[in-house]
Amino acid sequence: MKSRLQSIFIVCAYAAIDVALITLAFYWTLCLRVQTVHFSVSLPSFYSEHDPFRQLFMVWTLLIVFSHHAHGLYHTRREKAGGRPEWVEVAKSTIISTLGIIVLAFLLKIQDFPRSVMVLDALVITVFCFSWRLLKNVFVNYLVSKGYNNFNALIIGAGPTGLLLAQEISLQGALGFKIKGFLDDEKKGLVEEWPVLGKLDALPHVIQREFIHKIFITSYTDDKSFLKILETAKEEGIAVRVVPQGYQYMTSDFIKLNIGPIPVLEYSDTNEYYRRRMKMVLDLILSCLLMLVLLPVLILVAIFIKIDSPGPVFYRSRRYGRYGRVFDMYKFRSMVSNADGLLHKLKDKNEVDGPIFKIKKDPRITRVGVFLRRFSLDELPQILNVLKGDMSLVGPRPFPTNQLEKEDLRQLKRLGIRPGITGLWQIMGRSDVSFEHLLRWDIWYIKNWSFWLDLYILMRTFPAVLKGKGAY
């Protein structure tokens, strides 16, 4: 009961500090923007009849407090929960509250309150609410490292993972865990500085003797022994934490989700996920800009194609995209309209290795097509593919469906990301480069791609296009 009362007191104390700092943020912001409000700004006038916006301030304060509580900001967390830093949670909570008050002001038709003050308030509140938490965390970490409110911990499994966990806990005194030792069916004596207190069967006795508060499971022999540990811990009222198997192969956080009543941990590189999302956003923004800038060029090219030879302006080629999805890749038509039907007559004249078909003086290419290919203008319609989500600005070039050899695993690895309009192959010489080098560069790109690498390739694409090396 005492612990429960202490928790309530801490929550109330944190909320009171937030209310005081929010009020101070309102006052300070209004002092900075006093020329934009129509009432006398003074600290005693807040929440009184002299303040025409007192109800707005009071509701806003309550919204922030409730939002902070919902985001877990009134609890002292020794470990990172979810991997997000606390300032992100503070900012997120404040933004949600501010959006709520903006909607409320609109519905109540509160017209006189300056929106610039509202935005500045949100920024100052975020800084104030995070700053005091930063100081609080420093103080709490100091107390915990000195032994205040520490917990006795027991590690199941004295293997490499268990030892590494013990070392990490000992290095991070602010966590407040004191390692009492290990339980292990195979080892005895000391593991570095920590004793092996017995086998797994000794768990109930060790919990009582060593006054254990937390149990960490790093390994277990079978499901039966694992369930026995959980049952014993439940009987003793002790929390159990499990180190996921294979964690060492992860580069980011696990994702917890539920399928019906069954909890599932997803081994997923969330950093990779966000990088891919950032790449998609960059593709969308740059493609829209390119479409606007190049629209006159696209129209002019379309006119020349229609004048030069009969047939459609665009050519659609069936290509393999990400995960083997087939899509129509758009190009300006640079050949005669029946070029595909004439391909079988030229197969024996192929001048490049691998499954790709290329010849320098292809008789199917039109007069305008020679110019288009020389400066890669025939590829411009693929901006539409980027906007549709079939392609990216930078990536491996998509192979035609009839040129992909599914027995070649290196070719299949290229399908792990969206194909691109340009890539390492384009800036290194295009058709003058061997198919073997193409595969190596594409696989290297997939393993090492980043925002800066994409930017480098895009910047190198323009001079490569102007040189026209390997363009045929």
Residues of the chain with pLDDT > 70: what percent?
A: 82
Strands 392-394 and 151-156: unpaired
Q: 158 and 152 in contact (C-beta within 8 Å)?
A: no
Q: 426 and 353 in contact (C-beta within 8 Å)?
A: no
DSSP 332: E
* Single residue among 145, 173, 206 that ends a domain in this structure: 145
Cα separations (Å) of 152 from 87, 157, 175, 275? 30, 16, 11, 40
Cα angle: 169, vertex 170, 172; to 5 degrees: 65
**Distance of alpha carbon 203 from alpha carbon 215, whole angstroms:** 10
Outline where DSSP puts E strands in 126-167: 151-156
Q: Are residues 372 and 276 in the same domain?
A: yes
Taking only the tens place, the pLDDT of each residue in 190-203 is: 888 899 999 988 99
* 462 occurs within a structural domain: yes
Q: Are residues 337 and 411 in the same domain?
A: yes
* 248 occurs within a structural domain: no
Confidence of residue 251 (pLDDT cuts 50, 70, 90): low
Phi, then psi, of 190 in degrees rounded to 5: -105, 145
* 267 occurs within a structural domain: no
Question: Which one is predicted more confidently, 41 or 308?
Answer: 308
Question: Which one is predicted more confidently, 139 or 148?
Answer: 139
Question: Which one is predicted more confidently, 379 or 47?
Answer: 379
Taking only the tens place, the pLDDT of each residue in 255-296 is: 777 787 787 777 666 566 677 778 888 888 889 888 988 999
* 426 occurs within a structural domain: yes
Q: Are residues 301 and 442 in the same domain?
A: yes
- The pTM (predicted TM-score) of the whole model is 0.48
Q: Are residues 95 and 115 in the same domain?
A: yes
* Single residue among 125, 145, 165 that ends a domain in this structure: 145
Please tell me the total count of domains within the chain: 3
170's CB contacts (< 8 A; 6+ apart) are 179
* 439 occurs within a structural domain: yes
Q: Torsion angle of alpha carbons 97, 98, 104, 105, nearest 10°?
A: 160
**Distance of alpha carbon 432 from alpha carbon 425, whole angstroms:** 10
Give pLDDT, residue 2: 44
* 437 occurs within a structural domain: yes
Over 50: is that where the pLDDT of 463 sits? yes
Q: Are residues 136 and 210 in the same domain?
A: no
Q: Which of 151-155, 200-204, 243-247, 413-417 has the lowest mean pLDDT?
A: 243-247
Residues of the chain with pLDDT > 90: what percent?
A: 15
| Four-residue CA torsion sign, 79, 85, 89, 94 | positive
User: Which amino acid would we find at residue 141?
Assistant: N
428: nearest Cα among 379, 376, 469, 395:
469
Question: Which one is predicted more confidently, 382 or 340?
Answer: 382
Q: Are residues 279 and 426 in the same domain?
A: yes
Q: Are residues 460 and 415 in the same domain?
A: yes
Q: Are residues 239 and 168 in the same domain?
A: yes
Cα angle: 135, vertex 136, 137; to 5 degrees: 90
**Distance of alpha carbon 347 from alpha carbon 337, whole angstroms:** 18
Q: Are residues 311 and 450 in the same domain?
A: yes
Strands 239-242 and 255-259: unpaired
The residue segments making up the domain with residue 389 are 272-467
Taking only the tens place, the pLDDT of each residue in 8-57 is: 888 888 899 999 998 888 888 877 766 666 555 555 555 555 556 677 77
442: nearest Cα among 65, 388, 453:
453
Q: Are residues 15 and 139 in the same domain?
A: yes
* 255 occurs within a structural domain: no
Confidence of residue 380 (pLDDT cuts 50, 70, 90): very high
Report residue 332 as tokens. Answer: 């300006």
Over 70: is that where the pLDDT of 472 sits? no
Q: Are residues 281 and 237 in the same domain?
A: no
Give pLDDT, residue 299: 93
* 252 occurs within a structural domain: no
* Single residue among 118, 145, 172 that ends a domain in this structure: 145
Taking only the tens place, the pLDDT of each residue in 58-73 is: 888 888 999 888 888 8
Mean per-residue pLDDT over the chain, rounded = 81
Q: Are residues 224 and 103 in the same domain?
A: no
